[in-house]
Amino acid sequence: MATAAVLERETYLNASYGLKSWLLTKDHKRIAILYFITISIFFAIGGTFAGLIRLELLTPQADLVSSETYNKLFTMHGVIMVFFFLIPSIPATLGNFFLPIMIGARDLAFPRINLLSWYLLILGGVLAIYAMVAGGVDTGWTFYTPYSTSYANTYVIATALGIFVAGFSSILTGLNFVVTVHRMRAPGMTWFRMPLFVWAHYATSLIQILGTPVLAVTLVLILCERTLHIGIFDPALGGDPILFQHMFWFYSHPAVYIMVLPGMGVISEIVSTYSRKPVYGYAFVAFSSLAIAVVGFLVWGHHLYVSGQSLYAGLVFSFLSYFVAIPSAVKVFNWTATLYKGSISYDTPMLYAFGFIGLFTVGGLTGLFVASLGLDVHVTDTYFVIAHFHYVMVGGTIMAYLGGVHYWWPKMTGRMYPEHFARLSAVVVFIGFNLTFFPQFILGYQGMPRRYHVYPPEYQVLHVLSTAGATVLAVGYIMPLIYLIWSLKYGPVAGKNPWGATGLEWSIPSPPPTHNFDRIPVVMHEAYDYSAVPREVEVG
Amino acid sequence: MDSQIQQSHVHPSDLHQGEAHHLETLALREQFDTEAQQKDASTLGMWVFLITEVMFFGGMFLGYTLYRSNYADTWALASRSLNLPIGATNTCVLLFSSFTMAMAVRAGQLGKKKAVILFLILTMLFGLAFLGIKGYEWTQKFEEHHVPALANFHLEGTQLQGQAKLFFSFYFAMTGLHALHMVVGVGIVLFIIFQTMRNKYSPKYYTPIDIAGLYWHFVDVVWIFLFPLFYLIDRHP
Amino acid sequence: MHFFPDQASTISPEVDHLAYFMLAVSIFFTVLIFGAVFYFAIKYRRRSDDELPGGGHTGLALEVVWSVIPFGLTMIMFGWGASIFFKESVPPDDAMNIYVVGKQWMWKLQHQEGQREINELHIPINRPIRLTMTSEDVIHSFYVPDFRTKQDVVPGRYTTTWFTATKPGKYHLFCAEYCGTKHSGMIGWVYAMRPEDYQEWLAGSPTGSMADRGARLFDDLACANCHHADGSGRCPTLVGLFGSTVRLAGGGAVKADEAYIRESILNPPAKIVAGYQPLMPTFQGLVTEEGVVELIEYIKSLNAKPGLEQTGQPAVPGAGAGSQPGNQ
């Protein structure tokens, strides 16, 4: 990554050389790059598991792997993708890189803690990978008790420890962001002049701070239970296995918003830039992030409609779940309204943003199905749920992540990516994604349960479609990997502001110098004020 | 470090400010402009961290509440088996330690190095005393067969050994977690003592003492909740 | 290929109608959003590089409209879904009881008449069936897609669900909660039969009723040594117990349902009846979950005939005890 010494001047990339200068760096931009490499590796591992799962499901019988192996595959796919890719994805890379710059700061408030959180992710990841190499884990990423505590014979302890450690990485990132946003804004950067990307990350950080410790303590109890058999979740000893589900989902439902809120922030930036218009309803979009973060904490029980929790608990959780739908809908409408009378260009990030808006709409609307008590009884724990959350997390978060990576690629590396390949890959990803996951809605409503290694033959047609789509999707994901690496050396040199975008990050050179700003800027304008941007388009 | 091509600023009217920056000392790190900003950020950081700690302990308190209401009688019985005088003594010890911690922060504010060291050493000693007493109490549990993971677990006066076990599981988990925080706290205080001796702090820069104090008080407050929950509720049937 | 599974229970069409409604709403909004994005993207495409469209503003009225209308729609979805859920959760009083015990990796089912089945369930159509379910190990979930019914089966407690099949046929039974290695093998069939066929099936494999087996177990475990029918023993009488309200030592009362009886067998000291000593030993490990439900059926049967005396003596008649009149 350190090869892009594109100009004579000093940048964060060429300020110093050698592995040590990276591994001991306190620069938020270098740490973002470290995260970027790390989570790409985790994405590749998790994606390989996904590919094997789809291959196995081509036929109703067990052909490729045994049921033990299959169970390990979907468990490790979930663990890696959720805890080691999706949760750090946008905040730890794009957020780490751009949040301080966007508010006019030289770095995050606690650079050493920032580096520490990367090491914690690595340590957690090493533990999780150790568990996989040593023999895998087969509890599902949800670790439901008493299976995970008393019945599973696999590497539950190492995996849970890995997630526990990675959780602290997430907590510290959130802590750093909150303090940075509160205390490090440049003069004139009032709360309502902050880019919506920053608002989204602020809301995300609140969830990381309030939710992740509960996951940590839940995992501690799992570890105690598994090593000492003290009975906290074991009905045979007087414990309550449903308590675990409450504690787990108290974190893991808000965690969905940790994954998707930063993506929404990215989309706000992209939609505004490529329409050359301020985001419509700025304040509503900003506050909807906070509303999602707050209400998101009150809806965890909608994962437990059929668990045997009381009827009235189900009613309350269903009612509150519909409240989360409104701020999400408000965002989608506002993005769409931003396009109205804009000046819209079809650069790659915008194609990803269109994809995000469409797929997130489908993911959100099918969320209404699973929030409904009567309907959820039928579709919960089926492929309908799988399709729903993949539309939100893959169709939403990963589309936004890829869009954001392309959008800020010139800023991060100083090089442009090849536009035609990039547009092609955006289209391939969109098609491949829909082909993979849309059939799963139908499968789920027909009754195909999730986590099934073998299945009745009448479901095969849709499974084959889904696997075919996964192949296309894989191609769509491999393409950017190749051309982005290629562009590091051969891409055209990028100017300071290739998109004519607003935002402080576009006012400094690409790639930025180590200290971001020669002088801390004084902010005089609202966010997305395009009349203040110099109009010349720079090409290197 | 700033040898690059002149960049154009977003805002031509950019006023100069923060001329003190780029001078990294222990007192002011380079990402901050002023000492006040740095102190604010550090303090806020600690508060946010303490919020995460509240949520961390919160999960345990949730489990405690659930089983306390489900298994009220057995838990009351188990609660009565705990050694109240020892628990009360420990509460006093911790309260004293909080007092000396507060005095240490005050002394730091005033720049009285010797007083800082004295009060911090007292705080540490109280903290160690707490841990010692706690350790003694735990060894008693082994003798009384009140350790849930052992085969010889037995609580007199009830047939519901499973429920009693759960009580002691929570007792060990929560007081153990608290003790772990105490150990970390003692380590932090020790570090601050060394730094004070090396003249790292001054009335202008005593943020680490302040923040260590916040942490110490928090751990103290956790005990203020644990003590009544385990030792006092339903003491008299 | 059918997009929707069979509608084979009374609740199926209701669930599907809600699904149609939500599908219509979803399609409307998906088309609206996709349509608007495409239309705007083409109509307002960038025509020259130095274009600068006018600044946006916030239309408060518009924000209110597109918050309130979706909110209204979601409240319809909430109310509709909740009303179906209420129906699904409260079984009618005259429902036929079937007991389900899940274990890795099979379903064990017992009819009151005594038939035991594994991974197969025969039921009559047009009659509400109530399932009382528990697990011997981990959490499972009883799922029949064509009935649109699903309920987790949790160790250490009873969960219930109910349905009324409407079409004779053979339907998938799945375990829907991941339960370990052979999770996907924990499947079976539900056979919904015309009532006359069901009677024939019952008659085809005569066995003692569940209550009979419960009576034998009651005898084997020597429960009658303490639980006398007339209440003279050291322990409370079980006649008329089921469904009654039991006053507990130390205050409070509890309704004697399946869960209470199960707890009293497996963990007797948990709830002591007022006026009695905690003498009863635990039967955890001595009785299986299937044995417990048989005991429950036996205790229930003691209510059925008010005149029937509970046999207080060890000499319980062997076959034909319980619901058959004339067995004292």
Q: What is the pLDDT of residues B80-108, one digit of tens each?
A: 989 999 999 999 999 999 999 999 999 99
> How does residue C55 score in pLDDT terms, banded at 50, 70 and 90?
low
Q: What are phi and psi of A341, to 5 degrees?
A: 60, 30
Distances in Å between the Cα of C322 and the Cα atoms of A254, C29, C132, C317 are: 54, 61, 21, 9
Tell me the residues of chain C between 23 and 62 that have a Cβ less than 8 Å away from chain B: none
Buried b (16+ CB within 10 A) or exposed e, A228-258: bbbbbbbbbbbbbbbbbbbbbbbbbbbbbbb
> How does residue B6 score in pLDDT terms, banded at 50, 70 and 90?
very low
Nearest chain C residue to A310, by CA: C89
CB A263 within 8 A of CB A201: no
CB C45 within 8 A of CB A345: yes
Mean predicted lDDT score pLDDT of chain A: 93
Give the pLDDT score at A412: 95
d(CA A330, CA A272): 16
CB A275 within 8 A of CB A339: yes
Once rounded to an integer, what is the mean pLDDT over residues C271-290?
86
Give the pLDDT score at B237: 58
Look at residue A280 and tell me whether its pLDDT is greater than 70: yes
| Element spanning A277, H or E | none
Q: What are phi and psi of A472, to 5 degrees?
A: -60, -45
Give the pLDDT score at A81: 96
Task: Please indicate if any CB of chain A lies within 8 Å of the CB of C76.
Answer: no
pLDDT digits (tens, 9 = 90+) for A468-479: 999 999 999 999
Look at residue A272 and tell me whether its pLDDT is greater than 50: yes
Q: Which of chain B's residues have a Cβ under 8 Å away from the Cβ of A214?
A: 55-56, 58-59
CB B65 within 8 A of CB B212: no
Cβ <8 Å between A276 and C52: yes
Q: Which of chain C's residues have a Cβ under 8 Å away from the Cβ of B160?
A: 267, 269-270
Give the pLDDT score at A537: 47
pLDDT digits (tens, 9 = 90+) for C132-175: 999 999 999 999 999 999 999 999 999 999 999 999 999 999 99
Cβ <8 Å between A520 and B162: no
pLDDT digits (tens, 9 = 90+) for A355-372: 999 999 999 999 999 999
Look at residue B209 and tell me whether its pLDDT is greater than 50: yes
Q: Does the CA dihedral C191-C5-A472-A82 come out positive or negative?
A: negative
d(CA A425, CA A427): 5
Burial grade of C177 (CB within 10 A; 0-12, 13-18, 19 or more): buried
Give the pLDDT score at C305: 58
d(CA C59, CA C66): 11
Look at residue C207 and tell me whether its pLDDT is greater than 80: no
- By percentage, how much of chain C surpasses pLDDT 90? 54
Question: If you compute the radius of gyration of chain A from its CA atoms, what whole number of angstroms results?
Answer: 23
CB C166 within 8 A of CB C27: no
CB A291 within 8 A of CB A334: no
Task: Please indicate if any CB of chain C lies within 8 Å of the CB of B18.
Answer: no
For residue A483, give every residue at least 6 positions away whose Cβ sits within 8 Å of its Cβ, in sequence order, or none: A417, A418, A421, A422, A425
Nearest chain A residue to C73, by CA: A322
Within 10 angstroms of residue A463's Cβ, the number of other Cβ atoms is 21
Q: Which of chain A's residues have a Cβ under 8 Å away from the Cβ of C177?
A: 144, 381
Task: Please indicate if any CB of chain B lies within 8 Å of the CB of A524.
Answer: yes
Mean predicted lDDT score pLDDT of chain C: 87
Task: Write the ipTM.
Answer: 0.91
Once rounded to an integer, what is the mean pLDDT over residues C206-233?
85
Cβ <8 Å between A209 and B163: no
Strands C149-153 and C140-144: antiparallel
d(CA A338, CA A350): 13
Q: What are phi and psi of C172, to 5 degrees?
A: -65, 140
> How does residue C314 score in pLDDT terms, banded at 50, 70 and 90?
very low
Once rounded to an integer, what is the mean pLDDT over residues B150-179?
87
Look at residue B23 and tell me whether its pLDDT is greater than 80: no
- By percentage, how much of chain A surpasses pLDDT 90? 88
pTM: 0.90
Q: What are phi and psi of B175, to 5 degrees?
A: -70, -30
DSSP state of A87: T
pLDDT digits (tens, 9 = 90+) for A10-42: 899 988 889 999 999 999 999 999 999 999 999
Give the pLDDT score at B7: 39
> How does residue B128 score in pLDDT terms, banded at 50, 70 and 90?
very high
Measure CA A375 to chain center.
Answer: 28
Give the pLDDT score at B5: 34
Amino acid at C113: E
CA dihedral A411, A412, A413, A417 (to 10 degrees): -70
Q: Which of chain C's residues have a Cβ under 8 Å away from the Cβ of A454?
A: 184-185
For residue A252, give every residue at least 6 positions away whose Cβ sits within 8 Å of its Cβ, in sequence order, or none: A142, A215, A300, A303
CB A449 within 8 A of CB C174: yes
Q: Which of chain B's residues have a Cβ under 8 Å away from the Cβ of A231?
A: 148, 162, 165-166, 169
Look at residue A216 and tell me whether its pLDDT is greater than 60: yes
Look at residue A285 and tell me whether its pLDDT is greater than 50: yes
pLDDT digits (tens, 9 = 90+) for A414-432: 999 999 999 999 999 999 9
Tell me the residues of chain A between 326 and 345 that have a Cβ less than 8 Å away from chain C: 326, 329-330, 332-334, 336-345
pLDDT digits (tens, 9 = 90+) for A152-190: 989 999 999 999 999 999 999 999 999 999 999 999 999
Look at residue C15 and tell me whether its pLDDT is greater than 60: yes
Amino acid at B235: R
Q: What are phi and psi of A15, to 5 degrees?
A: -65, -35
Task: Please indicate if any CB of chain B lies within 8 Å of the CB of A171.
Answer: yes
DSSP state of A512: P
Q: What are phi and psi of C108, to 5 degrees?
A: -115, 125
Cβ <8 Å between C74 and A242: no
Give the pLDDT score at A454: 94
Give the pLDDT score at A411: 96
Once rounded to an integer, what is the mean pLDDT over residues A502-517?
92
Cβ <8 Å between A339 and C84: no
Q: How far is C269 from chain B (nearest CA, A)?
A: 6
Cβ <8 Å between A343 and C51: yes
Task: Please indicate if any CB of chain B lies within 8 Å of the CB of C268.
Answer: yes
Give the pLDDT score at B27: 63
d(CA C91, CA C97): 10
> How does residue A535 score in pLDDT terms, banded at 50, 70 and 90?
low
Task: Please indicate if any CB of chain B lies within 8 Å of the CB of A234.
Answer: no
pLDDT digits (tens, 9 = 90+) for C70-115: 999 999 999 999 999 999 889 999 999 999 999 999 999 999 888 8
Nearest CB to A235 within list C4, C150, C156: C156
CB A487 within 8 A of CB A416: yes
pLDDT digits (tens, 9 = 90+) for A377-419: 999 999 999 999 999 999 999 999 999 999 999 999 999 999 9
For residue A408, give every residue at least 6 positions away whose Cβ sits within 8 Å of its Cβ, in sequence order, or none: A94, A97, A98, A505
Tell me the residues of chain A between 272 and 301 that have a Cβ less than 8 Å away from chain C: 275-284
Poorest-confidence range of B111-115, B233-237, C239-243? Answer: B233-237
Look at residue C56 and tell me whether its pLDDT is greater than 90: no
Tell me the residues of chain A between 168 and 227 that have a Cβ less than 8 Å away from chain C: none
First to last CA, chain B: 72
Which residue, B211, B222, B177, B49, is CA-closest to A209? B49
CB C200 within 8 A of CB C130: no
Burial grade of B137 (CB within 10 A; 0-12, 13-18, 19 or more): middle
Alpha helices in B23-112 (DSSP H): 35-70, 72-81, 84-110
> How does residue C309 score in pLDDT terms, banded at 50, 70 and 90?
very low
Tell me the residues of chain B between 129 and 158 that have a Cβ less than 8 Å away from chain C: 158
Nearest CB to A530 within list C3, C52, C178: C52
Burial grade of C68 (CB within 10 A; 0-12, 13-18, 19 or more): exposed
Strands C116-118 and C106-111: antiparallel
Query: Assign residue C130 a region: left if phi > 0, alpha if psi is -120 to 50, beta otherwise?
Result: beta
Tell me the residues of chain B between 45 and 104 that have a Cβ less than 8 Å away from chain A: 45, 48-49, 51-60, 62-63, 66-67, 70-71
Cβ <8 Å between A138 and C138: no
CB B13 within 8 A of CB A522: yes
Give the pLDDT score at A148: 93
